[in-house]
Amino acid sequence: MRKIFLIFIIIVLLFSSCTNSNTKLDNAATEQITAEPTPVATPVPTDTPEPTPSPTAVPTVPKYIFIVIGDGFGRGAMMMGEIYARLKSEDMQVGAEWENFAQQSWVDGRGESASGGTAIATGYVSPASFISQTTEYQDLYTIMDRAKEAGMSTGVVSNAFLLDATPATFLTHDDWRLNFDDLAERMYTCNVDYIAGGGLMRLVPKSYYSSFNSTDCRKRLVRDTASVSNDSSFPIMVEELGYVPYLGLAGAQSFLEQIDAGTFSEEKAICVFSESTMAYETHKMDPKNIEECEFVPSLSEMTEGGIQMLSQNENGFIMMIEEASIDKRSHNGSQSGNIAQIRNLNDTLKTIMEFYNEHPYETLVILTADHETGEYRYDEEKFAEFKTWAPFTWTDNADEMIAFLDSVWGVEVYGSKITNYVNYAVDSLWGTVEEDRANLYNYITLQASLELGIKPTTEYHSWQLVPCYTTGVSSGEFAKTTGIQDIPIIICEILGWEALPEVIEN
C-alpha cells in the first residue's frame, strides 16, 4: 500500500513540473515577440586568428589574368594538339589542357596579326597592319594600360621577336607593323613590367652587345647588319625606367638559373634572348642542335618567369603569352613543324594551369587566336571516332609500335623513322622522357592527322573561326563573345574598369 502511495505522489509531482515548464516556455515565447530587442554587444578584438574563408565564397573578379594567344591557332591545329596529348598520355580520355576549360566557344578572328593583336589588346577593330592605332593615327589604350591604372602588374611574353605584330600591339603603337625603328623608339611608353622574347636585332642597340659578348641564346654571334637605329628607346627603359636587362646567351643563362631556383623577382625586366624569333621546336628536336639550344628559354619557362615576378604584386597581374610559331610554321608549309609548336602551346598552358590550381578562386585563363592560318580541312565525325580508338602504348621495341599503328590504328608510317626515333629515346639524347620521345610522338601525330583528314589547304591566313576558351573566375562572361575584339572589353566590364576601346589623349 505504501509503495502504491509513493508512486502516486511521484506521478503528481512530474505532472506539475511539466505544466510549469510549458508555462515558462509559453511566457518566454510571448516575451520574445513583444519585448524590445536586446542590443548586441560590440565584439571585443582578440588574438584568435580569423577562420580561413570557405572555398564556396568564390571571388567575383579575377586577380590573375592570363591571355594566351596561339598565332594562327584554329580548329585543325587544335585537333592535332589533342592527338599529340593522347599519344603522350597513353590514355584516350586525357587530351590537351584546353579540353577541360569551362567555357568553350568559337568566334571571329581577324585577317592578320597586327589587326588581330590590336583587337585583343584594345578592343578596336582596325585594318591590316595597324599596331594599336585607329585609322586616324590615334594611339589606343591597351588592356595593359588599364591594368597599370588599377595597380596590377603586367607582362608580355612571346617566342617571336618582341616587335613582331602581335606582341607589339601590347607594347607600342604605329600605323605600319613593319616600321620597326618607330616601334622600337616608342617602346618606353609601354605599361608592361615584364617583357620576354626574341629580337636583339630589332630592339637592342650595339652599345649593349658587349654585355652579352654579342652572342644570343643559341650561341650565335648577332649579325653586324642586325643593329637597330640609335632611336631605340631601350636605353631609356634600362637607364631611366628601371628595367633590368637579360640579354643574349649571358642573360638567358642567368634567367634560367633563377627560374630553376624560383627566385626571379625583379620589379621590372626586359628579356631579349635571341637575335630574332626564338628557335622553332623542330629545330630543338634535331639531335645536331642539342648543344646549340641548351640555353634557349622555352615559352613555358618565360611564362614561369612572369609568374614568379608578377605574382609579387598583391594586386595581381595580367600577362599576355603568345605562341607565335604555329603561324610561322604554317607559312613554311610544315604541318609537322606546326604540330611541334602546338605541343609547345599545350606545355605552356600546363605551366599556367599549375598556377591556376594553386589559385583556383582568383585566376582567369583565356585561350584565343588572332586568326587562323592554313585554312585547315578537318572532319569532326572522324575525330570523334578517333577518341574511341585503343590507346597507344610506348615500348622500346620499334617493330611492336609499327605493328600496332598498322593493324590497330590503321595508320601508315615509315618503319625507318619510327626506328630512328625510338633510338633517340633509348639513348636519352635530351635527358628527359618527354623531349626524348618528342620526335616519335610528333611523327605519329602527323600521320594520324593525315589519316583523319586534318590537313592545311593553304600556307596563308584564313577567316576560319578561332577559339575563345576560358576557365576560372568569371569565365562564363565570355559566352557572349562574338569576336576577339570583345575579349578586352569584357575584362574591363568584369573588373569595373573604364571601357575599351578608347583613344589616348595626347
Does the residue 341 lie in any domain? yes
164 and 178 assigned to the same domain: yes
- In this prediction, residue 332 carries a pLDDT of 95
363 and 389 assigned to the same domain: no
Cell numbers at 102, concatenated: 569551362
180 and 106 assigned to the same domain: yes
CA dist 491 and 473 (Å) reads: 11
**Model confidence at 473: pLDDT above 60:** yes
CA dist 150 and 127 (Å) reads: 30
- In this prediction, residue 187 carries a pLDDT of 95
- In this prediction, residue 192 carries a pLDDT of 98
234 and 321 assigned to the same domain: yes
226 and 301 assigned to the same domain: yes
**Model confidence at 27: pLDDT above 60:** no
Question: Beta strands 244-247 and 269-272: pairing type?
Answer: parallel
CA dist 57 and 115 (Å) reads: 39
- What SS3 state is found at 482? coil
Q: What is the band of 230 on the pLDDT scale with cuts at 50, 70, 90?
A: low
- In this prediction, residue 15 carries a pLDDT of 39
Does the residue 28 lie in any domain? no
CATH number for the domain harbouring residue 324: 3.40.720.10
479 and 427 assigned to the same domain: no
Instruction: Return the closest-CA partner of residue 440 out of 473, 410, 416.
Output: 416
Region of 441 (left: φ > 0; alpha: ψ -120 to 50; beta: rest) is alpha
Per residue in 47-60, pLDDT (tens digit) is: 333 434 445 566 78
CA dist 465 and 468 (Å) reads: 10
Sheet of strand 103-107, all strands in order from the earlier edge strand to the far edge: 103-107, 466-472, 363-368, 64-70, 317-323, 153-161, 194-198, 269-272, 244-247
Mean pLDDT of 343-364: 98
CA dist 323 and 337 (Å) reads: 13
- In this prediction, residue 271 carries a pLDDT of 98
**Domain extent at residue 390:** 382-450
Q: What is the separation of C-alpha 323 from the centre of its chain, rounded to a whole number of angstroms?
A: 9
**Model confidence at 39: pLDDT above 60:** no
Degrees (nearest 5) of the Cα angle 296, 350, 275? 20
Does the residue 248 lie in any domain? yes
Does the residue 94 lie in any domain? no
pTM across the whole model: 0.88
- In this prediction, residue 223 carries a pLDDT of 83
- Helix (H) or strand (E) run with residue 64 in it: strand 64-70
Report the 10 Å Cβ neighbour count for 498: 10
Does the residue 211 lie in any domain? yes
Does the residue 162 lie in any domain? yes
Per residue in 93-116, pLDDT (tens digit) is: 999 999 999 999 999 999 999 999
Mean pLDDT of 302-329: 98
299 and 412 assigned to the same domain: no
**Model confidence at 443: pLDDT above 90:** yes
- In this prediction, residue 38 carries a pLDDT of 33
Q: Is-contact 61 493, C-beta < 8 A?
A: no
**Model confidence at 13: pLDDT above 50:** no
Angle subtended by helix axes 415-427 and 433-451, to nearest 10: 160
152 and 203 assigned to the same domain: yes
CA dist 408 and 317 (Å) reads: 48
- In this prediction, residue 348 carries a pLDDT of 98
Give the whole-number percent of the chain exceeding pLDDT 70.
87
- What SS3 state is found at 436? helix
Q: What is the band of 25 on the pLDDT scale with cuts at 50, 70, 90?
A: very low
154 and 252 assigned to the same domain: yes
70 and 183 assigned to the same domain: yes
Mean pLDDT of 53-70: 81
Per residue in 249-262, pLDDT (tens digit) is: 999 999 999 999 99
Taking only Cα atoms into account, the Rg of the chain, rounded to an integer number of angstroms, comes to 30
Degrees (nearest 5) of the Cα angle 329, 331, 337? 20
Does the residue 506 lie in any domain? no
128 and 271 assigned to the same domain: yes
**Model confidence at 46: pLDDT above 60:** no
Domain count, the chain: 2
**Model confidence at 80: pLDDT above 70:** yes
Q: What average pLDDT is seen over the chain?
A: 90
Q: Is-contact 88 391, C-beta < 8 A?
A: no
Start-to-end CA distance of the chain, whole Å, equals 110
| Three-state DSSP string of 237-287 | HHHCCCCEEEEHHHHHHHHHHHHHHCCCCCCCEEEECCCCCCCCHHHHCCH
372 and 486 assigned to the same domain: yes
Does the residue 81 lie in any domain? no
Instruction: Return the closest-CA partner of residue 290 out of 427, 444, 196.
Output: 427
